[in-house]
């Protein structure tokens, strides 16, 4: 999405990715890095790590899903920090 620049006017994909049109597209571009992290790593692990980073200790994902590694958690934390 971010690689398309201004060439994209309407974007719609699977249910976990909101449709982005006009002004909403600018907001979605800002959040896209977080979606990329969710796609790269285990979704449940990303959500749980994100909550823990914000002070909500919810524990690790239930097996067979694994928690993020220290390196993966740093990547998710960097995205969250950049988003503010």
pLDDT of 20: 56
pLDDT of 4: 72
Residue 74 carries which DSSP code? Answer: H
Contacts of 71 (CB under 8 A, 6+ apart): none
pLDDT of 44: 92
pLDDT of 37: 87
pLDDT of 70: 96
Kindly state the tokens that stand for 37.
């992290």
Give the pLDDT of the chain (84 residues) as one tens digit per residue. Answer: 667 777 766 555 555 555 556 777 777 788 888 888 888 998 999 999 999 999 999 999 999 999 999 999 999 999 999 988
């Amino acid at each position: 999405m971010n690689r398309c620049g201004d060439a994209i006017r309407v974007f719609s994909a699977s249910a976990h990715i909101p449709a982005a049109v006009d002004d909403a597209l600018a907001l979605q571009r800002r959040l896209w890095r977080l979606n990329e992290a969710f796609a790269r790593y285990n979704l449940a692990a990303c959500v749980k790590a994100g909550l823990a980073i914000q002070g909500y200790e919810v524990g690790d994902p239930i097996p067979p899903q694994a928690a993020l590694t220290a390196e993966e958690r740093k990547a998710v934390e960097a995205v969250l920090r950049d988003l503010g």
